[in-house]
Structure 1
């Protein structure tokens, strides 16, 4: 079966076949890739344990699909184009031949410093080509990469390194985001004080800031690369990996305080990311594809590095932020590089809308063919602005729904194939079987209905486990409803059978497209001196989609509430990172609890949203008068 669907009738046929014969469908799709050894069974699964294995018996190396197979016909085509945070710094381009050589050389750096198949390597780097090179070099030798977003704190990094027991770290002296410098090596040094498992630290020079280098542990990237070249070690055979060997760990917030390491494996992830990239964006050879995400998140893994490179695309990597040096930066990049496909987040779109059209009007956006939205449901106002002012009414918007745990996109229009509707993710990809259920897990059939979104059959990109704690994987995703993967999202299905995601139904917030667990933020707030207890909920935010509203009980009334709020916010930034800093902090004397001690977040969420006259039944609370006081003092 060919990889790409080319019209709506083909989509319908492919979808029907994928539901009636999933193994046959995904077996035929997998034939489009390079395998060292073919599978003897396409799928073995149950959602009870859970146990999910795709392409049993097959072996491969994903980097041969990303790089080697393109050397015959695309060696001189740009694979990666990099645009700096500083618009005056020259951009860099790596052809497939050059990228292959850089990846092989750095793979040898890793090997010469003791890294081997199965080792975990933490990557904490800026958005530079070397991050993509390090990701691919890990995969080349069979090491498991764990990329940590460059905005996380030392404590958050330490938690992730300890959980995965990483033996090596790749970082940089510093990075620039807008006009702000982040001292990555300094933060990493602080993190690994409590991580004796780390034996080697490789440091890329990016910001040229002063760093401390410990003899016997710390090495400079460029010196090691030069050493490999002097030894003639610029080629590296790809390690043969089982289809079910782990490819990477990516940590995501959960409903408990400890981040959980989502594990994706080599074979199924490769097939699914390539299939979804090709079909959703309808990529055409030679096009310039620009995903504005950070490689530190799943979007960057799947749709900056792996998906595009497997398909031989040109992937544009951007180091900066959309508003630096001004709010026209995205449009400058589109104009400069003749970008054909732009994939960004509703938060970025809403942020740029605030600046008006002055930054858009003089930019040539005529090269754009497809627009994409990722990370959170897009609101209608942002959808219309994006459609009218960026796409000029001529570019389909693929509003993609997926998660870290799904590996790739599950529900989305296919560009120029699926009729779109503002705010609707529309229809599932072939091989994806969504259903809506009620609180009891009973399926809600028909159209014009709402419920909790579940998936009833595995797809190749589904997570296999949470690192070192398979029971946590089971309880988080497979125990809520029997024989179903529970997404944690609410959803409506309209009269046309189109899906619209309505937001989280569990204790996870979606802040600027990034999922943050309420418990994680509460744990950080509770570490502040004089805090007795806290409760955190999400509330509607004009830019971020959801903001963080914290209710905090102090041991004594703060003498200076403004300063106390700033100090609590700084504590959260220090422990988790600035992304988790509360937007509003309300000091309260009590929290609405049931007689069994459970906090009624539903009530707190309603108050934070301003819906104070529709709180529902409060008679089951231990002290209903607490609610009146919180309502009166709402920020």
Structure 2
């Protein structure tokens, strides 16, 4: 680990030198002379005296460098039968005109714009147009209902809302406009105008405050980039599943541009001329960072996919996109690959697609189990790189930095801490845990550029939520361990550690055992209340395609899984209940609804996120989840 070790050590011992060098990859209207402002801990600010414009760095500078005719964005929408490509010049021009339209509606530097849109190019245009003006965008995932949208509007207090009239899925049309109207009826804040992108599949009924996208841009003058302070906010992204006042993650302009530019080259080994596809949604942090900003900052081509690329009826959609657009680096969630493996266990569709362009598959969003890693690595024949990060950090905390040094892969681990992140595993007293010992994963302050400097309008909540448990450190909320080689193993949220008769056990470790069984496609282990032992684990598994229809398979597999956990973890695990189910309840971003499942199993109802992918799956599980 020569190159990595030296770089990582330098990033921690001389962070100002390290980030000054990284800042050279960004165009500044005023270069940073001061790298870190540490005068008011724990509120650290990067590049406090610098100015730049993020949109200029994502678009204009590539046009000025003679790459204006290079493809910047590929829009692939099987649900509408559309494929459209935009060069850097074309995308720059559309962004500039829409920025002019927003300016004509009164939007200026520091104003907020809420974006509630489907996965269409105009969503990218709207985000970049806000950045061009120095305005602050807040993208709300299209799956959120009126209540969640209203809460975000009240907190962000936008001058304008930009929305699509509808979203389109494989089997239905989701009408966004009525949801927006209901949210605005409920919200206390009233934005001045709403810009509605009318889609022919379901145009929306306009109200007095509404203007269509077409009318908004008609006659609008192209806007130039507005320089902003590096510490000015670029966007606010509200974390999903919040109750009460939503938690707005703030991302600044300067640190964000520097960190994401560095990450593309050094983590993803991707740059100008490459094609990058993050199979996510612009409403999530992955979509912000690695659909919109990072690829364009690096001068790469980014793919925007509208639709669900996995599951029925076509488990080969992933590989079709890779083939058709020459994708070099693919970023996806493990749940997507598990769904593909379930429908196509032999990888026949991969072979037919001939994914020769693909150099690496990066996976994040949840723990990558070793079996999914092995399947993807064998079938694709490319490195499969786990990486771990959070909405709050905005870019990977731990990964195998392929552009810096291609390191050996250890299944079950997202590899090593990324330069800039002083990652520790600590015991309850705050001391560092020995190698092999599980504890809480924390990051020593200051957090590197690109991470949240605070929460929107709530410094006190920022400190209370993240910085109070272990003073001087950011609490990730995840537990794990380091091994003797310095590889980090993330075992899941600390609230997924259960206490069985005084023994603290990781449900992630049990899931790892269940997932190793040849018949298991997906699994989850939750802790439920028990009068005798305090808590006991219950396992739920989805079998691979074909096996669920064999009459004897479910009972046989369940018995084998109970025995497997007993052999590998021990009787102390007390896992005596494993049930085979047709599917696991998930959000549309692929996260299993563990908390909701725990609540039902314990006889109470936890709020079900409006982003649930298929409510019928949870309804079916209630019959086996409820206490007897």
TM over 0.5, shorter chain: yes
- Could you say which residue in structure 2 is the equivalent of 1:380? 370
Superposition pairs of residues 526-605 of structure 1, within 5 angstroms: 542=542, 546-547=592-593, 548-551=596-599, 572=608, 576-579=610-613, 583=618
Within a 5 Å distance, the mapping from 1:73-472 to structure 2 comes to 73-86=66-79, 89-195=81-187, 196-215=189-208, 217-228=209-220, 233-234=221-222, 236-253=223-240, 257-322=244-309, 323=311, 325-356=313-344, 357-389=347-379, 391-392=380-381, 395-415=382-402, 417-445=406-434, 447-457=435-445, 458-472=447-461
Native 8 Å contact 2:155 2:245 kept in 1: no
Structure 1, unpaired ranges of 5+: 1-7, 510-534, 558-564, 589-606, 609-629
Provide the rounded CA distance (Å) in 1 between the counterparts of 2:538 and 2:117.
Answer: 29
- The answer to whether the aligner puts 1:27 opposite 2:62 as a matched pair is no
Distance 1:25 1:553, change over 3 A: closer
Query: Could you tell me how far apart the structure 2 residues matched to 1:255 and 1:300 are?
Result: 19
The alignment partner of 1:201 has SS state of strand
Matched-pair contact (CA < 8 Å) for 1:85–1:321 = no
List alignment gaps of at least 5 residues for structure 2.
499-534, 543-583
- Post-superposition offset of 1:203: 0.8
Once the two structures are TM-superposed, the CA of residue 226 in structure 1 deviates from its matched residue by 2.7
8 Å contact kept, 2:275–2:327: yes
CA distance in 1: counterparts of 2:424 and 2:225, whole angstroms:
40
Structure with bigger RCO (C-alpha 8 Å, 6+ apart): 1
Deviation at 1:62, TM superposition (A): 0.8
Q: 1:94 to 1:169 in 2, by over 3 A?
A: same
1:473 aligns with 2:521: no
Q: Is the 8 A contact 1:549 1:585 kept in 2?
A: no
Structure 2 counterpart SS, 1:466:
coil
Paired residue secondary structure (1:502): strand
Give the superposition deviation at 1:349.
Answer: 0.8
1:551–1:586 Cα contact (<8 Å) kept:
no
Taking the aligned partners of 2:451 and 2:461, their CA distance within structure 1 comes to 15
Are the counterparts in 1 of residues 482 and 489 from structure 2 also a CA contact under 8 Å? yes
Cα distance, 1:585 vs. partner? Answer: 8.8
Distance 1:28-1:106 versus aligned 2 partners, 3 A rule: same
TM-aligned CA distance change 1:247 to 1:539, over 3 Å: farther
Following the alignment from structure 1 to structure 2, what is the Cα–Cα distance between the partners of residues 580 and 41? 50
Q: Secondary structure at the match of 1:491?
A: strand
Q: What is the RMSD computed on CA atoms of the aligned residues?
A: 2.8
Change (3 A) 1:89 1:580: closer
How far does the alpha carbon of each residue in 1:485-517 deviate from its partner, in whole angstroms, 9 at most, with x for none?
A: 1100001111211001100014899xxxxxxxx
1:492 equivalent to 2:481? Answer yes
Relative to structure 1, the CA distance from residue 441 to residue 485 in structure 2 (aligned partners, 3 Å threshold; closer, same or farther) is same
1:560: which partner in 2? none
Following the alignment from structure 2 to structure 1, what is the Cα–Cα distance between the partners of residues 30 and 288?
25
Deviation of the 1:289 alpha carbon:
1.1
Equivalent residues of 1:254, 1:260 under 8 A apart: no
Compared CA separation, residues 145 and 324, structure 1 to 2 (3 A)? farther
Q: SS state of the match for residue 419, structure 1?
A: coil
The question of whether the paired residues in 2 share the 8 Å contact of 1:77 and 1:95 is answered with: yes
**Offset at residue 158 of structure 1 (A):** 0.6
Q: Is the 8 A contact 1:345 1:374 kept in 2?
A: yes
Is the alpha carbon distance of 1:456 and 1:362 closer, same or farther for their aligned partners in structure 2, counting shifts above 3 Å?
same
- Residue deviations 1:134-184, cap 9 Å, x none? 000001111110001111111110111111112211001111122221101
* Separation (CA, whole Å) in 1 of partners of 2:538 and 2:141: 22
- TM-score norm. by structure 2 comes to 0.80
The count of residues paired between Structure 1 and Structure 2 equals 534
Q: CA-to-partner distance for each residue in 1:510-568, whole Å, 9 max, x for gaps? A: xxxxxxxxxxxxxxxxxxxxxxxxx9x997665656333154599xx9xxxxxxx9xx8
* SS at structure 2 position matched to 1:404: coil
Match of 1:9 among 2, 8, 13: 2
Classify the secondary structure of the residue corresponding to 1:420.
coil
Supply the distance in 2 between the matched residues of 1:242 and 1:580 (Cα, whole angstroms): 43
CA contact (8 A) 1:243 1:268 kept: yes
Give the whole-Å Cα distance in 1 for the aligned partners of 2:138 and 2:488.
32
